Amino acid sequence: MGKLNILFVIPQLEKGGSETLVYNIASLLDRKLFDVSLAYFHYYGNEIFRSAFQEQSIRLHHIPRNRSADFSAMRIMARIIRENDIHIVNAHHFVSMVYSFYACKFAHSRGLVYTEHSSWEVKKMPLKWRVMGRLLLRNLDCVMGISDDVTQTLKSIFHLLDENTLTIRNGVDLDTQAGMRDTREIRNEFGLADNTKVIAMVANFRKVKNHVMLLQGFRELLRNFENVKLLLIGQGTDDDLENSEDDVRSYLKDYDLHEKVILTGHRSDVSNLLSIADVFCLTSFEEGLPISMLEAMSSGLPVVGTNVPGIRDVIIHGKNGFLVELSDYMALKDSLLKILTNEQLSRRYGQESRKIVQASYSMSECVRRYQELFLKTIKH
């Protein structure tokens, strides 16, 4: 048999955590064994990210989807599967799985693997979706979560058996030095003095990311420690119900924080920006397994985050950073202050962060396990 043709399916071509993971896996699959395509439903004009896929010789297929159950979109996907002789479809997120399931049926194709990134999204599903999931998922080749918590949620909500489920943890590139700019150049870009401390958060402006809690803690921090700035790396979303950018901007205006908080918008050079940070913070209500935090840890940063699934998988409290309870912005302030005022502690936590990623979250191991799964699926 020749190469296996893999089709990844994602809801949108936008640079978030799950899309970044798909890009990394698709780019790093062994091209002697696999040819790779990507299908997506929504595109919001991020040409840099789109071009990144094309530069890796990944064929792109935009499938417009106009409503929740769009059978024309399923037929378009089925045609893509037939015309490109797709052997395995890897659908990321539940909506992609549903469309992929019926597209595979229309195309008389069998290989379908589903990757879920968020236990929170699964838990908030309405009953009719849960029932649909229980009917569909038992017919898939494999159902996987990006963390043990996500996998356990899938098994619980959809009544899945152990033999049909798998956890493949997110991975990040451990070589953080490639293509790095001089840190002085980056600090100059944002008008940062050499001795100004920097707190970074990488997250698009979505309500689930809970930016306001970080802003509350940061505002309290400024009462005790003035020589610090907050770098918010990310952009708003086109989903009005989820978009929190207006909330963030209103908070900055209400408390006159514009001089202290930098909104970078979308950036393709996140590693460069992390190189000027002293600590990384993530205050989400829930995460799957946050790639942004893993990238920060790979860069050797101490980390502070909310004590929620996903984040508590990667922060060992008192070893590589601190966990704080949701809404306890005073504890968040205290944790940030400890790291910013104790260089020895900060250095030790940063070193431990890097060790944790090296031991459990390397991109090479993540890709190896995906390749192993794809080969096993086609044999069955």
E strand spans, 126-195 = 142-145, 165-167
The count of structural domains within the chain is 2
Q: 62: helix, coil or strand? A: strand
Same domain, yes or no: 16 and 133: yes
Res 1: pLDDT: 61
Same domain, yes or no: 152 and 31: yes
95 belongs to a structural domain: yes
Domain that holds residue 128: 4-171+362-379
- Give the integer Cα–Cα distance in Å for 343 and 332: 18
Nearest to 7 by CA among 376, 380, 367, 374: 374
245 belongs to a structural domain: yes
State which residues of the chain have pLDDT below 70.
1, 45-46, 68, 176-179, 238-241, 380
Res 240: pLDDT: 62
Same domain, yes or no: 221 and 366: no
Same domain, yes or no: 227 and 160: no
Res 143: pLDDT: 97
Res 178: pLDDT: 55
Same domain, yes or no: 356 and 367: no
User: What are the tokens at 327?
Assistant: 């809404």
Same domain, yes or no: 113 and 167: yes
Q: What is the CATH number of the domain that holds 102?
A: 3.40.50.2000
177 belongs to a structural domain: no
Phi and psi dihedrals of 178, rounded to 5? Answer: -65, 130
Same domain, yes or no: 326 and 373: no
Res 200: pLDDT: 98
- Give the integer Cα–Cα distance in Å for 265 and 232: 8
Res 243: pLDDT: 83
70 belongs to a structural domain: yes
Res 160: pLDDT: 94
Same domain, yes or no: 165 and 210: no
* 328-359: pLDDT as tens digits: 999 999 999 999 999 999 999 999 999 999 99
Same domain, yes or no: 123 and 246: no
Same domain, yes or no: 333 and 242: yes
178 belongs to a structural domain: no
User: What are the tokens at 72?
Assistant: 């024309």
192 belongs to a structural domain: yes
Same domain, yes or no: 48 and 190: no
Nearest to 337 by CA among 91, 306, 283, 329: 329
Res 203: pLDDT: 93
Same domain, yes or no: 123 and 192: no
